[in-house]
Structure 1
Amino acid sequence: MSVLTNIIAFIVALGLLVTVHEFGHFWVARRLGVKVLRFSVGFGRVIWRRQGADGTEYALSAIPLGGYVKMLDEREEDVPEHERHRAFNRKPLWVRNAILFAGPGFNFLFAVVAYWAMFVIGTTELKPVLGDIAPESAAAAAGLERGDRIRAVAGEPTATWDDVLMQLLSEGPGNRALALTVETPEGREQERFLDVASIGAFGEEPDVLGALGIRPWRPEVEPVIAELMPDGPAARAGLAAGDEIIAVDDQPVGQWRALVEYVRARPGEEVAFTVRRDGGERRLEAVLESVAGPDGPIGRLGVSPRFDRSALEGMQQTVQYGPLAAVAEATGATWEAGVVTLKMLVRMVTGEASVKNLSGPINIAQYAGQSAELGVVPFLRFLAIVSISLGILNLLPVPVLDGGHLLFNGIEWVRGRPLSEAAQVAGQQIGLLLLGLLMALAFYNDIARLIGPSG
């Protein structure tokens, strides 16, 4: 995956979602009688403009990371007497609140539309069947075994691994006995209790399932090469289709998964491969590529395995709904993702979840690029999650955000008059400071992930 792909996907995603947010403010303001002076897609220097009805200027600006809406407001400029009734500051509280909430509201609506499209198109998911269970882990202590299928978490049905992960994130932190309903390979339903309170599964370790000792089921694949990436490390080293990799740096390899784990942990390193070919053994050395992974650089050899696809197909299921049924499913998915996001924010504040969960633009760009390369459905899922996060973030009661302005309006409603201009300016400065600190922490997390645990 190239850095250029990440950048393009990030610009498209963020530009689209912030524009949707600002269009929400624009659309509701127009319908509630507030004059909109400018609706801009992008920031900075205006490179194209057109005058629309009612004097609204529609503009395209040079920096394609979002947009903004400028409304008529006496606090920002002189307003002619005949237009003062259309100024934002002259409108009653309920109108101002509706306009402020419309931005996040359109983000939530966009998420519903994205999920709806995803469910109508359909997606192929792995059934939540357990693979290997790590010894002495929380999963092992709970009695979970390879082949068990997770039917429900905390009483909520789980059809896919995404469902399992959502429920773990929603119900897990602080819960020493999270109930899991599992179906054994023999078809018996049993209840297990998973302790997720004493481990760093919710931020200290970004791989929640791995921190619990759970591996999703994967087919047992022998370390035999089926295809090579053209001009990749394996091809340059002389490896060939049909080679069986029997050792890496003189360490025996039994399954393809072990080979993948060894390679991923060594980005940029030279590794020796012992292969069996035509009845004999050869030793070949390859310098692994270093590529961006979700939590830092990973190694890549540039090979794919040979395996029995029928076993994988038996563990897959298609999640797809008709257009009407998809509306309810999309609304439910948006609600669940929003609840999980809000819970995680609260837990970061209270210390139940690590602030390492916080991602900045670098990490978001990586996820944007990965999801875009995987196809339309994964990219739609990514857009929905980020849109929900953007909506919730903007509703936080922090001055300079929509939620901060809603807070000021709430204080005005209680007092019967607005806060003084000096108090609002002070609040805005505090809000900017808080956002600056938040962004600094997010950038720190991103850089820490890029560097990796070894530093």
Structure 2
Amino acid sequence: MNTFISIIIIFGLLVFIHELGHLIFAKRAGILCREFAIGFGPKLFSYKKDETVYTIRLLPLGGFVRMAGEDPEMIEIKPGYQIGLVFSATGKVKDIVINNKSKHPEAKVITVEKIDLEHKLMIEGYAEDEQLQTYFVDPKADFIYDEQRTQIAPYNRQFGSKTLTERAIAIFAGPAMNFALAVVILFAFSLLQGIPIDKPMVGEVIPEGAAIEAGLEEGDLVVAIDGKPLETWTDLTSVIQRNPNQELMFTVDRNGKVFQVPVTPHERIGPNEEMDGYIGVFPPTEFSVLGSLMFGFTQTYEFIVLIIQSLGMLITGQFTLDHLSGPVGIYNYTGQAAEMGILVLMQWAAILSINLGIINLLPLPALDGGRLMFIGLEAVRGKPMDPQKEGIVHFVGFALLMLLMLVVTWNDINKFFL
């Protein structure tokens, strides 16, 4: 249950922040954002504020911001259609009733002769026993279809009407917000945990480790091991890791009193699948607001580099698909992080946020990076790609991503349950 709650909170936060980045910068560019959604599938909750409907959907597998002009408009009116017009106090059309006109007795019913709701914002048509008239439409008028309101999208409110820079920023803002969230999480983590200090000093001592067995205490400065001086935390850990189950003579400075104590590192499997030693201590830390802020930025940068390097190893064949994890693996690892405490869970959330940002920036169709790639092609060509062709590419890309998701999910099931 704790794992499920942790997943919902973490993924909800990551997706919310990602989509919020898109929403904020799309609105700043003047793009009509019809919906801000967390999840996919049927709506569980919806709330409309100003022009945007905010929804929570059944399947918590992502989210989206539906911007006008990105997809074909769902309501199309052609000459010959009968529609109802409701007027504002200024005489402009504020509502366009598509069907169920009997429910809107205030609407003037006309037969459309000509309509332009993108540029001229006008409708020409005939009312019964009247000559052809021109009606001007409010830029924020609504369609009413099956008693559901949908705001019209003049061209200057559509995604495609904005400059290349404005569109690129609106797309890039999602991943950028994930990186910013990682900085904030790691900043908060550092405020709680402290900033690691690069000294050969004993930090927090864990129970049942070699350090506590030897009588070491938090704050002890290890000045030498077997007579060899130490200067950094890395010097200390490298000697310990090279000598599992080997007695080492620590020279310790405790509040100005220097003494020697034998320590025998315990054995464990290291990152290279080889046995190495550990004594059960954390690195020393200090507390500083400015230092914590710098820690947030530097750790985020280091995680970004590490993840990009891992992706490069996947491309070159040094990693295989077996090394990838999908939803099942992430669920399992989140459960393990939750069991280790809030600080470990915070670090894991920051890593997931960075992963989400980087994966979305990959130049693959259906991802933010793919959309940025098409904007880049438009800049080179001097004209946009055909919307239908771009839509097909995104559809195929999405299908391939779903196939990859199935493969990594099957790998996860084999690793954790079979």
State the TM-score bracket (shorter-chain normalisation): 0.5 to 0.7
Residues 29 and 162, structure 2, Cα contact 8 Å, conserved in 1 = no
Question: What is the aligned counterpart of 1:106 among 177, 195, 209?
Answer: 177
Would you say 1:25 and 2:22 are equivalent positions? yes
Is the 1:372–1:378 Cα contact (8 Å) retained in structure 2? yes
Structure 1 residues 432 and 390: CA distance shift in structure 2, 3 A = same
Once residues 316 and 174 of structure 2 are traced to their aligned partners in structure 1, the CA distance between those partners, rounded to angstroms, is 27
User: Which secondary structure state, in structure 2, belongs to the residue aligned with residue 57 of structure 1?
Assistant: strand
Quote the Cα distance in structure 2 between the aligned partners of 1:345 and 1:446: 18
Match among 299, 319, 331 for residue 285 of structure 2:
319
Instruction: Normalising by structure 2, report the TM-score.
Output: 0.63
* Per-residue Cα deviation, 1:310-340 (whole angstroms, up to 9, x for no partner): xx5xx33343432221111110000000110
Measured at CA, do residues 94 and 186 of structure 1 come closer, stay the same or move farther in structure 2, by a change above 3 Å? same
Counterpart of 2:186 (choices 92, 115, 118) is: 115
Q: Give 1:44's match in structure 2, choosing from 37, 41, 46.
A: 41
- Mapped to 1, the partners of 2:415 and 2:236 lie a distance apart of 27
Question: Cα deviation per residue 1:66-102 (whole Å; 9 max; x = unaligned)?
Answer: 4321111164216643432111111111111001100
Change (3 A) 1:185 1:93: farther
- The 1:124/1:75 distance shift into structure 2, 3 A limit, reads closer
Match of 1:259 in 2: none
Q: What secondary structure sits across from 1:317 in the alignment? A: coil
Judged with a 3 Å threshold, the aligned counterparts in structure 2 of structure 1 residues 215 and 397 are, in CA distance, closer, same or farther, namely same
Q: Contact conserved, 1:43 with 1:62, CA < 8 A, in 2? A: yes
For residue 330 of structure 1, the aligned residue among 288, 296, 300 is: 296
Q: Does 1:217 align with 2:214?
A: no
Please give the secondary structure, in 2, of the residue aligned with 1:23: helix
Separation of aligned partners in 1, 2:271 and 2:226: 14
CA distance 1:103–1:436, change in 2 (3 Å): same
- Give deviations 1:328-353, integer Å, cap 9, x for gaps: 11100000001100110111111122
Is 2:10 the partner of 1:13? yes
Once the two structures are superposed, the pairs formed by residues 363-378 of structure 1 within 5 Å of their partners are: 363-378=329-344
What secondary structure is seen at the aligned counterpart in 1 of 2:38? strand
Corresponding residue for 1:92? 163
- Specify whether residues 123 and 397 from structure 1 end up closer, same or farther in structure 2 by C-alpha distance, changes over 3 A only: same
> In 2 relative to 1, CA 148–384 (structure 1 residues): closer, same or farther, beyond 3 Å?
farther
Residue type at the aligned position of 2:350: A
- Matches of 1:149 and 1:383, distance apart in 2: 38
- How far apart, CA to CA, are the structure 2 residues paired with 1:210 and 1:147? 28
Stretch moving more, 413-422 or 76-85: 76-85
Which amino acid is the alignment partner of residue 121 of structure 1? L
Shift of 1:124: 9.8
Distance in 1 of aligned mates of 2:229 and 2:412: 34
Find the aligned partners of 2:236 and 2:353 in 1 and give their Cα distance: 22
Counterparts of 1:399-410 in structure 2 under 5 Å? 399-410=365-376
Number of positions where the alignment pairs a residue of Structure 1 with one of Structure 2 = 296
Quick check: 1:73–1:88 contact (8 Å CA) kept in 2?
yes
Q: How far apart, in 1, do the equivalents of 2:228 and 2:356 lie?
A: 36
2:55 matched to 1:59? yes
Q: Does 1:362 align with 2:328?
A: yes
Residues 119 and 320 in structure 1, CA contact (< 8 A), matched pair in contact too: no
Once residues 128 and 209 of structure 1 are traced to their aligned partners in structure 2, the CA distance between those partners, rounded to angstroms, is 21
Structural mapping, 1:216-365, within 5 Å:
216-218=277-279, 312=280, 315-365=281-331
Give the Cα–Cα distance (whole angstroms) in 1 for the partners of residues 39 and 402 of structure 2.
21
CA distance in 1 between partners of 2:376 and 2:362 (Å): 14
- In structure 1, distance between residues paired with 2:274 and 2:353: 31
**Counterparts of 1:147 and 1:86, CA distance in 2:** 73
Is residue 43 of structure 2 the alignment partner of residue 70 of structure 1?
A: no
Q: Identify the residue that residue 414 of structure 2 maps to in structure 1.
A: 448
Contact 1:399 1:428 in 2 (8 A): yes
TM-aligned CA deviation for residue 421 of structure 1: 3.0
User: How far apart are 1:426 and its partner, in Å?
Assistant: 3.3
Most deviating of 119-128 and 387-396: 119-128
Q: Could you list the per-position Cα deviations for residues 281-327 of structure 1 after superposition, in whole angstroms to 9, with x for gaps in the alignment?
A: xxxxxxxxxxxxxxxxxxxxxxxxxxxxxxx5xx3334343222111
Instruction: State the alpha-carbon separation in 2 of the partners of residues 18 and 160 from structure 1.
Output: 41
In 2, the alpha carbon distance for the partners of 1:447 and 1:124 equals 37
Correspondence 1:427 to 2:393 = yes
Identity %: 32
Partner of 1:295: none
CA contact 2:155–2:161 (8 Å) conserved in 1: yes
CA distance in 1, matches of 2:381, 2:35: 32
Deviation at 1:104, TM superposition (A): 0.3
Residue by residue over 1:20-48, the C-alpha shift from the partner in whole angstroms, topping out at 9 and shown as x without a partner, is: 11111011111121121111233333233
Structure 1 unaligned residues grouped into runs of 5+: 132-144, 165-183, 188-206, 219-311
**Residue 417 of structure 1, CA deviation:** 1.1
Whole-Å Cα distance in 2 between the matches of residues 147 and 30 of structure 1? Answer: 65
Corresponding residue for residue 238 of structure 1? none
C-alpha distance after superposition, 1:406-451 (max 9, x if no partner):
1111111111112223431332133123312321231122122114
- Structure 2 unpaired stretches of 5+: 77-116, 120-138, 140-153, 197-201, 211-224, 239-247, 252-267
1:8 to 1:375, Cα distance in 2 relative to 1, 3 A? same
State the one-letter code of the partner of 2:11: L
The question of whether the paired residues in 2 share the 8 Å contact of 1:148 and 1:185 is answered with no
Residue of structure 1 equivalent to 2:133: none
Aligned-partner Cα distance in 2 for 1:39–1:160: 51
